[in-house]
């Protein structure tokens, strides 16, 4: 896979704050439940106590779409 073709907003999996568990939760809420990025952020905070920005949710979704 040519990683140069990825968007500049795509997540680097070597980044120390990357957490695969949180990424899975984000994608579950955002894609499977069809929540917006802001709704996903709110659900993660209310249900799991995870504070994440809606921009990070969008970046996780963008990265997942690019590598599939």
Write out pLDDT tens, residues 20-57: 888 899 999 999 999 999 999 999 999 999 999 999 89
Q: Count structural domains, the chain.
A: 1
Question: If pLDDT is split at 50, 70 and 90, which confidence band does 63 have?
Answer: confident
Task: Count other Cβ atoms within 10 Å, centred on residue 47.
Answer: 10
For residue 3, being part of any structural domain is answered with no
Whether residue 65 has pLDDT greater than 70: yes
Task: Count other Cβ atoms within 10 Å, centred on residue 62.
Answer: 15
SS3 6: coil
Phi then psi dihedrals of residue 5, to 5 deg = -80, -10
Whether residue 18 has pLDDT greater than 70: no
Domain interval for residue 43: 17-67
pLDDT confidence of residue 12: 58
For residue 9, being part of any structural domain is answered with no
For residue 1, being part of any structural domain is answered with no
CA distances for 7 relative to 2, 14, 58, angstroms: 11, 16, 12
For residue 58, being part of any structural domain is answered with yes
For residue 53, being part of any structural domain is answered with yes
């Amino acid at each position: 896979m040519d990683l140069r073709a990825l968007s500049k907003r795509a997540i680097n999996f070597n980044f120390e704050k990357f957490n695969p568990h949180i990424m899975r939760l984000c994608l579950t809420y955002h894609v499977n439940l069809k929540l917006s990025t802001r709704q996903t952020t709110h659900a993660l905070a209310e249900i799991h106590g995870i504070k994440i920005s809606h921009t990070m949710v969008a970046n996780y979704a963008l990265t997942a779409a690019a590598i599939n």
